[in-house]
Amino acid sequence: MDKKKYRKDEFVTSSQIELKDYYTQQDVSSEIQQKLSTPGQFPFTRGVQETMYKGRLWTMRQYAGFGSAKESNERYKLLLDKGTTGLSVAFDLPTQMGYDSDHIMSTGEVGKVGVAISSIADMEVLLNELPLEKISTSMTINSTAGILLAFYIAVAENRGIDKKVLRGTIQNDLLKEYIARGTYIYPPKPSMQVITNIFEYCTNEVPLWNTISISGYHIREAGSTAVQEVAFTLANAITYVQSAVDQGLDVNKFAKRLSFFFNVHNNFFEEIAKFRAARRMWAHIMKDRFGVTDEKALKLRFHSQTAGVTLTAQQPENNIARVSLQALASVLGGTQSLHTNSMDEALGLPTEKAATIALRTQQIIAHESGVTDTIDPLAGSYFVENLTDEIEKLAYDYINRIKDMGGVIACIEKGWIQNEIQNSAYQQQLNLESKKDIIVGVNQFTQTEKKGDVEVLKVSEATAREQISRLKTFKKDRDLDVVKSYCEKICNAAESKENLMPLFVEAVKNKVTLGEISDSLRKVFGQYRESVKF
């Protein structure tokens, strides 16, 4: 193409990093070469394990959960039978917000965007016949993460399974809820208290459990750039680590169970470089800022999910190609765990057929593409190394600005981080409307859609009625004095800043519900109401 016929600003990444026509050795400094090291060695640019996928493939997860616990359990068994190697549980909004299914605030939302879990009885059905001692279970839950983990532990112990062998992850990332997603209950400071409780409890009692999945995914879904996703996620992570250190926890111990959760978008090389930069940055942050000496506590281990916001309701089959590209970028970027979205998720919950195609996409990459035959195959690419370095520099600029403004919580309270993301989202929308960015089937290459071309999964209203009926029966069949006693104990522990996790486990075993525990904490902590001034 003749340079005179195009503008320089036409070729930029999502983070507005300008791209050259081509890259040479001069674009890769000696400093960048020194940062490369070898896979499994500090600063882990090339991967957190020495053998990466040559030793073991990433965990293939499919995010699922809808309607009743029984329906979700059947989907999990189906996915395991088709080759999924880890479960990811989606919860409905009432469960996420600390309301039982029979609460007035739950009306119209029971089982809609995830599975409804109000009691240990629900969790027993959800996990029925699943080999908890063998599988890894990820639960996308935040404000009520400690309660859902307590349900999981209680079910396992009731089966005679030692909680020390349980493997999995709770998202448990409240800071990103205030920034981008909104399923918060309590104000930031008491939320941090509960999160630190979970760190401490699991370090001693559930040592194989990842106590937090520090999430950039929802930040990116809200409209951030790739650079902002890295910067805000790592800034949140710094806040969590500092809070735990301030409470006297040993960073070399609890930091080994920190995990991360990133988005994967369509800009193929930017996404690969993003993951490489994030790994390197975290290793240096933990070593230089927190004095970490245990190598395992320096590693950024992450789960990735293809980008829901990139899925289109128009020509939904096109989403298979999008997800394939995003999944490949995640693998080449060195993910430890991956969820591939289903092609129909812009229309509704994934159907069985669509979920199977999404899983098969991962399996084809793993077993047919050859990209797993060598470790970090793009290392040394002039373009990839330069882009990794640029993302790192720009992300550090954001982290330093946040530090200068008083830290993440201060920035959240001022609305600064939210405003940065909103500005980015607005620019993206302008790019679509002007066709500076092309979305196939949406603003170019469109076609008339035929109704009924794609099957859409719908949750029956009868499912909600049945769930509420079961919950009411559960509540009748228990000792209310015992329930009241545990609610009082939880209030007292919250006021005294005692670790809440042991009480949560005891309480759910004694039939206290998620809503009752959440209400007890509301009495002490209050509820957070966003008040943002831009």
Structural domain includes residue 206: yes
Note the pLDDT of residue 409: 94
- Strands in 59-64's sheet, in edge-to-edge order, are 209-210, 167-170, 136-140, 86-90, 59-64, 337-339, 302-306, 258-264, 212-215
Structural domain includes residue 103: yes
Contact of 216 with 175, CB cutoff 8 Å? no
Number of Cβ within a 10 Å radius of residue 208: 13
Structural domain includes residue 337: yes
Phi–psi pair at 149, nearest 5 degrees: -65, -40
Note the pLDDT of residue 273: 98
Structural domain includes residue 83: yes
Alpha-carbon gap, residue 55 to 39, rounded angstroms: 12
Note the pLDDT of residue 9: 58
Phi–psi pair at 316, nearest 5 degrees: -60, -25
Number of Cβ within a 10 Å radius of residue 287: 16
Note the pLDDT of residue 58: 96
The pTM of this model reads 0.92
Structural domain includes residue 19: yes
DSSP output for 221-244: HTT--HHHHHHHHHHHHHHHHHHH
Helix axes 188-205, 501-509, angle to 10 degrees: 80
Q: What is the pLDDT of residues 24-47, one digit of tens each?
A: 988 987 777 766 778 999 999 999
Token pair for 92: 């409905």
Structural domain includes residue 208: yes
Note the pLDDT of residue 5: 57
Note the pLDDT of residue 36: 75
Range of the domain at 374: 8-401
Where are any strands of DSSP class E within 21-140?
A: 59-64, 86-90, 136-140
Q: Is the dihedral of CA 384, 391, 214, 206 positive or negative?
A: positive
Residue 226, domain CATH: 3.20.20.240
Residue ranges of the chain with pLDDT lower than 70? Answer: 1-9, 34-35, 451-454, 531-534
End-to-end Cα distance, the chain: 43
Contact of 515 with 103, CB cutoff 8 Å? yes
DSSP output for 127-178: TTT--TTTSEEEEE-STTHHHHHHHHHHHHHHTT--GGG-EEEE----HHII
Structural domain includes residue 354: yes
Count of structural domains within the chain: 1
Structural domain includes residue 521: no
Residue 168 bridge partners (DSSP): 137, 209
**Cβ-count burial 209-245 (b if 16+ within 10 Å, e if not):** bbbbbbbbbbbbbbbbbbbbbbbbbbbbbbbbbbbbb
